[in-house]
Amino acid sequence: MSRIGRHAVTVPAGVQVQLAGQTVSVKGPKGELKLTLVDEIEASVADNKIAVKPREDTRRGRMMWGMQRTLVNNLVTGVSKGFTRDLEINGVGYRAAVQGRALNLQLGYSHDVVYPIPAGIEIKCERPTAISISGADRQRVGQVAAEIRSFRPPEPYKGKGIKYSDETILRKEGKKK
């Protein structure tokens, strides 16, 4: 029995849920998201709760149960509160700025890296060394953060590069004389 899957997802006020076959559509103040559940899982909506359970007691049905419930929970949380991922830039002369619908990064290359901001994602730079990525879709927010981080991942000797704000860089000792 799935410990995560057996808990129903609570739908907050202001969020509407529609079930059409295997498709769950969630609409809220931050936007609208859809998810197609796998065939082994069925969902039901009753008194502001979404219950997810396997159709049959099969191995694959039990495996997908908790994951599908978490994906439905991410939809509900995304359209009500949204998700945010913060990045930090370390290094002399490294900085970021938002210009229109593009993120301009200066990362020590001979050229600036220009990253076009995808639809449904909002990027803010409060400081030149801090990037905040937010949106309703958790997967897309994480993917955009990973793509921006990949332009200059942190290196282990001086810690220069782009890192997640909650990431810890394992530092190595440099050469000895």
- The per-residue pLDDT for range 134-164, each reduced to its tens digit, is 999 999 999 999 999 999 999 999 889 999 9
pLDDT > 90 fraction of the chain, expressed in percent and rounded? 43
Distance of CA 6 to the CA centre of its chain: 24
Same domain, 113 and 72: no
Strand-pairing partners, residue 90, are 161
Helix (H, G, I), strand (E, B) or coil at 68: helix
Structure tokens at 8: 């129903």
The tokens for 88 are 């930090």
Q: Which domain does 37 fall in, by range?
A: 9-80
Write down the pLDDT at residue 175.
Answer: 85
pLDDT at 1 over 80: no
The whole-number average pLDDT for the span 59-67 is 87
Q: Is the pLDDT of residue 167 over 90?
A: no
Instruction: Check whether 129 has a pLDDT greater than 80.
Output: yes
Q: Are residues 39 and 99 in the same domain?
A: no
CATH number for the domain spanning 130: value is: 3.90.930.12
- Asked whether residue 76 falls in the same domain as residue 95, the answer is no
**CA separation for the pair 66, 33 (Å, rounded):** 19
Q: Where a domain ends, among 80, 99, 134?
A: 80
Read off the pLDDT band of 94 (50, 70, 90). very high
pLDDT recorded at residue 91 = 86
Q: What mean pLDDT comes out for the span 63-91?
A: 90
Last residue of a domain, one of 58, 80, 102: 80
- Structure tokens, 121: 């994602």
* pTM reported for the whole predicted model: 0.85
2 in a structural domain: no
The Cα 26–Cα 147 span in angstroms is 27
Q: What is the pLDDT of residue 159?
A: 85
Number of compact structural domains in the chain: 2
Residues 65 and 22 in one domain: yes
Report the alpha-carbon distance of residue 1 to residue 12 in Å, rounded. 26
Q: What is the mean pLDDT of residues 57-78?
A: 89
